[in-house]
Chains A and B, each alone.
Chain A
Amino acid sequence: MVQVRLNGIVKSYGKEVVVKNLDLTVQQGEFLTILGPSGCGKTTTLRMIAGLEEPDQGSIQLGERVVFSRADGVVIPPEARHLGLIFQSYALWPHMTVAKNITLALKEQKISKTDITKRLENALEMVQLTGYAERYPSELSGGQQQRVAVARLIALRPSILLMDEPLSNLDAKLRTEMRASLKRLHRDLEATTVYVTHDQIEALTLSDRVIIMNDGLIMQEGSPYDIYHHPANIFVAKFIGDPGINLFKGTISNGVLDCGAVSIPLPDAIAKRGGDLIVGIRPEKIHASMTAKDGWLKARTEILQPTGANTIFEVKVGDTPITLMQPGFMTLSTGTELWLQFDPESLSFFDTETQKNLRSEVG
């Protein structure tokens, strides 16, 4: 069942159109992530679902209820949408204790006192903050504040959760922990979740489905596996993956792509096209050898960055720079020769004009 449906949403600030004709649906219980660089319109989209911003055109439906429709003149204020929203800044009220922060909205709903106490205890237990009820937000660490924000949301029991970069104010280690607990929370509450982030790791690790936005448009929609392995266009290919994908511009001649120093054999369907195209390969899909092999490309190391489990190589084939990643901790001096091979199955091909992935077009 569809829980959130956006139809033809357009939003602009002055002359700048930040969301351009957006259609989006979220299924019951689904964890959807909207991923994109800052200014792509993802937070605006989330705020429009919450009702904090008003679209210029289009309609928004939550469950069976139309909460916004420009054509029908419907505007339901955020107060009446019954959503849960976690802000990047957590938005805890600094003058209230943890308990008051969690129960303020419950008191508004005329819920009985015993029920409120029960919900408070339950929520604090779920985020492992039992015993912190009488603290003020300023007396808590960043991670604890974040958990209070989550508890506040749990206590209200909304069927739809919206999260606006909830982890971006935490340090790297805490972020990994909180990612796991958010995933657990989603599993336990079975709530439909829309999650906005610019962090691809969060998007890939948490989501059932990812929407990548850029410049107010949806670039790609799909499972984390799909968007990583089958980027729909050059933008997605570049945006996802760290270190970034290698892209070479070349011309097809006789079923082989000629990129200057590099020449790559092409699959039949694409080789038939002829003309120019762009090929992409992820750094970890490049095979490397320290000894010369027949048909492999000879390269020279420029810079090595061992990150612990892996080592990132920046090498040059002729004058063409290539990034690759190999497992293990390696140190090689600059100028060491090595030989590379591209796995044809791992290659992506993009049209130079439309920038679209040719495999998905051809099939």
Chain B
Amino acid sequence: MAMTDRSKPGFWFLQNISYQAHRLKNRPELIIGFLALGFLSFVVLVPLLQIIKDAFTFQSYDLAYNPDGVVGEFTLFHLDRVFNQPISAALFYRPLVNSLKMGFFVTMIALTFGFSLAWLMVRTNVHFKGVFGAMLVFPYMMPSWVMAIAWLSLFKNDRVGGSEGLLTYWTGTQAPDWVAYGVFPIVITLAIHYYAYAYLLISGALATVDSELEEAGATSGMNKWKCIRVITMPLLMPAIGSAIVLTFIRILGTFGTPALLGLPVRFFTFSTQIYASINARNQGDAFVLALVLIVLAISFIWINSRIIGVRKSYVTMTGKGFRKRESDLGKMRWPATIFVILFLCMTVGLPLILLLWESLTLIPGDYSLANLTTYFWVGQGNVNLAYGEPGVIHNKGIMGALINSIKLGFLAALFNGVLGLLVGYAVVRGRGKTLSKWLEAIAFAPYIFPSIALGAIYIGMFSTSIGPVPALYGTFTILILITVIKNLPFTSRTGIAAILQIHQSLEEAARVQGIGWFRRMFRIIIPLSMSGLVAGMLLTFITAMRELSLIILLISPGNMVLTGLIFGYQEQDMAQHSSAVTLMLVLIIIIISVIVRMMSRSAGVGRLNTT
């Protein structure tokens, strides 16, 4: 044993550093944890601080209103504009009321349908459960604004000019404005999308309530309804509470539908107002609105956890003696089944048929059989039609955007998988340590940023270069980055779950046998967590392909993706193109989600798609 002279403090200090360095080398999870925490702070926290700073200082674009202002100096100008000026009504208060109104009604309707369907599917003997199970989550797999495009095919009126919808074609009457545009169609179309989210969350929770708990109630003399009220509902409350809050936050951040159905009648929500402010070069307003949105989201989560908090401690999953009892619907079995079929026809069948039909009409607004054409799919381009834009398969813009979308989905999924695995590894292996808690918290943080607000944050952060990081605005990298970050709460959870399943001793056995960290990762950790990770990555792929709200502020002709292109076609009233491209996107998503379902089932990963 080497004897050392510890009398010299300098020597002791150096030696201590080397000791700590050795220790760190011994603990790969700490190194990964620190690196991940640093990276995530940079891409999550720093942008947030940046827009707070920008919201409270003069920017160069403010000088038009404030000739005396000095760029970078503290000011309440933006706050004043948003909250306290005549323009505030249009900028803040009306969008606030509209957003809350929209959020409230969509959540109510989505939750009612989601809950009823979850109950039918989990707790009753309704027919065709297998098919329904796959179909019911379908609207959620599609972009949320597909319904809005379908709605316009049906009810579009002469308000904004251009062609009219199927209703006018058949009946000759115009749909009134309130049916065609504004809060009513927005609520209906969003509810048709988000019920699936509530359905997933609630059916997941319902499936974990042991029927024996209800039977215990029944044996103590409660009737069926009292059992449900006294036993089942309280157990479901945490899931329902989360479903309400998470749906609400997502609706606050959603852009596509309110833009398509709201902007033509100047119906603004927070998200469309942020978009408008950015386009009008009033970024300061947009940042303040984004911050308000984040504060709103955080307060809803906080209120939810305050109300439900204590109840979250209910553990109804015992793993033993677990039984689901399906109650017999009796005479109602077929009516209930037909109800689900009709519901699916309305939410899945009808929109897709409308899209297909729309994409096959030669002259928009003429839905006769004589007007059917494949021009918008295979046409070479004709100056008399749709500004000479060629059909889907000959269209360089569409094919470029398709390739970009696939590239975005693929790269985002890949990085998400790697990041999720590393975060999961660092969090699980470092359990109980502060670093692990921080990492888990920060990986979850993007969840509370409404999509459009995160996009605004990224504009603020990456429009100029920061140290060695160049200005990313307008690049493809920023789309990948924001998609990875937005999906991180989900993938890191997948990663944590995957690593938790791998008992620590499996890795320790390799360590003791002299197998180094990289080999352990590649030979043991990755193969064992692969199935869960791949399913998670494919879901990221789908999310990235259908995403609009998140990236609408960040796309430009240079990094155009399919969703942005569809939005552009829709804005230019090129209904056939937007329908055709949407249909193509939906088709790709269907194929991949079928693969995901098959993989999750074979891997025994239950409801991976609950987020």
- Residues of chain B lying within 8 A (CB to CB) of residue A108: 513-516, 519
Check B511 against A82 for contact (C-beta < 8 Å): no
- Residues of chain A lying within 8 A (CB to CB) of residue B509: 85, 87, 91-93, 152
Q: In this assembly, does B73 line the interface, its C-beta being within 8 Å of a C-beta of chain A?
A: no
Q: In this assembly, does B2 line the interface, its C-beta being within 8 Å of a C-beta of chain A?
A: yes
- Residues of chain B lying within 8 A (CB to CB) of residue A84: 512
- Residues of chain A lying within 8 A (CB to CB) of residue B512: 50-52, 78-79, 81, 83-85
Q: In this assembly, does A345 line the interface, its C-beta being within 8 Å of a C-beta of chain B?
A: no
Check B1 against A79 for contact (C-beta < 8 Å): no
- Residues of chain B lying within 8 A (CB to CB) of residue A59: 1
Assembled-state Cα–Cα distance A165/B343 (Å): 58
Check B18 against A79 for contact (C-beta < 8 Å): no
**A73-B16, A77-B25, A93-B506 are known contacts. Are A105 and B513 too (CB-CB below 8 A)?**
yes
Instruction: Render B455-487 as a binary contact track against A, CB cut-off 8 A, 1 for contact.
Output: 000000000000000000000000000000000
CB within 8 Å: A-B pair count:
91
- Residues of chain A lying within 8 A (CB to CB) of residue B25: 77
Assembled-state Cα–Cα distance A70/B25 (Å): 16
Assembled-state Cα–Cα distance A11/B515 (Å): 26
Task: Kindly report which residue of chain B lies nearest to residue A88, judged by CB atoms.
Answer: B505
Assembled-state Cα–Cα distance A85/B515 (Å): 13
Q: In this assembly, does B374 line the interface, its C-beta being within 8 Å of a C-beta of chain A?
A: no
Assembled-state Cα–Cα distance A89/B1 (Å): 35
Q: From residue A95, how far is it (CB to closest CB) to chain B in Å?
A: 5
Q: Which single member of B503, B511, B519, B523 contacts A77 (CB below 8 Å)? A: B511
Q: In this assembly, does A348 line the interface, its C-beta being within 8 Å of a C-beta of chain B?
A: no
Interface size, A (range) = 35 or more
**A89-B503, A108-B519 are known contacts. Are A72 and B4 too (CB-CB below 8 A)?**
yes
Q: From residue A220, how far is it (CB to closest CB) to chain B in Å?
A: 29
Check A105 against B515 for contact (C-beta < 8 Å): yes
Docked complex: A36-84 residues within 8 A CB-CB of B? 50-52, 54, 59, 61, 66, 69-75, 77-84
Assembled-state Cα–Cα distance A92/B528 (Å): 12
Docked complex: A302-343 residues within 8 A CB-CB of B? none
- Residues of chain A lying within 8 A (CB to CB) of residue B26: 51, 54, 75, 77
**A66-B1, A91-B505, A93-B506 are known contacts. Are A75 and B516 too (CB-CB below 8 A)?**
no
Assembled-state Cα–Cα distance A28/B25 (Å): 31
Q: In this assembly, does A274 line the interface, its C-beta being within 8 Å of a C-beta of chain B?
A: no
- Residues of chain B lying within 8 A (CB to CB) of residue A80: 514
Assembled-state Cα–Cα distance A167/B112 (Å): 54
Q: From residue A244, how far is it (CB to closest CB) to chain B in Å?
A: 32
- Residues of chain A lying within 8 A (CB to CB) of residue B22: 73-75
Q: From residue A111, how far is it (CB to closest CB) to chain B in Å?
A: 12
Main secondary structure of the interface of B (DSSP, over half): helix
Check B2 against A72 for contact (C-beta < 8 Å): yes
- The number of residues on chain B lying at the interface, defined by a beta carbon within 8 Å of a beta carbon of chain A, is 29
Q: Which single member of B18, B505, B513 contacts A73 (CB below 8 Å)? A: B18
Q: Which single member of A52, A71, A88, A92 contacts B511 (CB below 8 Å)? A: A52
Q: From residue A62, how far is it (CB to closest CB) to chain B in Å?
A: 12
Q: In this assembly, does B363 line the interface, its C-beta being within 8 Å of a C-beta of chain A?
A: no
- Residues of chain B lying within 8 A (CB to CB) of residue A83: 512
Assembled-state Cα–Cα distance A343/B485 (Å): 77
Main secondary structure of the interface of A (DSSP, over half): loop
Assembled-state Cα–Cα distance A70/B16 (Å): 9
- Which of B1, B15, B516 gathers the greatest number of chain A CB atoms within 10 Å? B1
- Which of A83, A94, A152 gathers the greatest number of chain B CB atoms within 10 Å? A94
Docked complex: B499-555 residues within 8 A CB-CB of A? 503, 505-506, 508-516, 519, 523-524, 527-528
Q: Which single member of B1, B6, B16, B505 contacts A87 (CB below 8 Å)? A: B505
Instruction: Render B18-43 as a binary contact track against A, CB cut-off 8 A, 1 for contact.
Output: 11001101100000000000000000
Check B527 against A95 for contact (C-beta < 8 Å): yes
Q: In this assembly, does A140 line the interface, its C-beta being within 8 Å of a C-beta of chain B?
A: no
Check B505 against A95 for contact (C-beta < 8 Å): no
Q: In this assembly, does A206 line the interface, its C-beta being within 8 Å of a C-beta of chain B?
A: no
- Residues of chain B lying within 8 A (CB to CB) of residue A66: 1-2
Assembled-state Cα–Cα distance A94/B503 (Å): 11
- Which of B22, B510, B513, B523 gathers the greatest number of chain A CB atoms within 10 Å? B513
Besides A72-B1, A93-B523, A105-B515, 11 new A-B residue pairs in contact (Cβ under 8 A), listed by A number: A50-B512, A69-B1, A75-B22, A77-B26, A84-B512, A87-B508, A91-B503, A91-B506, A95-B528, A105-B514, A108-B513
Contact sample, A vs B, 26 pairs, CB 8 Å cutoff: A51-B26, A70-B19, A71-B4, A71-B6, A72-B4, A73-B22, A75-B22, A77-B25, A78-B511, A79-B512, A79-B514, A80-B514, A81-B512, A89-B503, A91-B505, A91-B508, A91-B509, A92-B509, A93-B506, A94-B506, A104-B523, A105-B513, A105-B514, A108-B513, A108-B515, A152-B509
Residues of B within 8 A of A (CB): 1-2, 4, 6, 15-16, 18-19, 22-23, 25-26, 503, 505-506, 508-516, 519, 523-524, 527-528
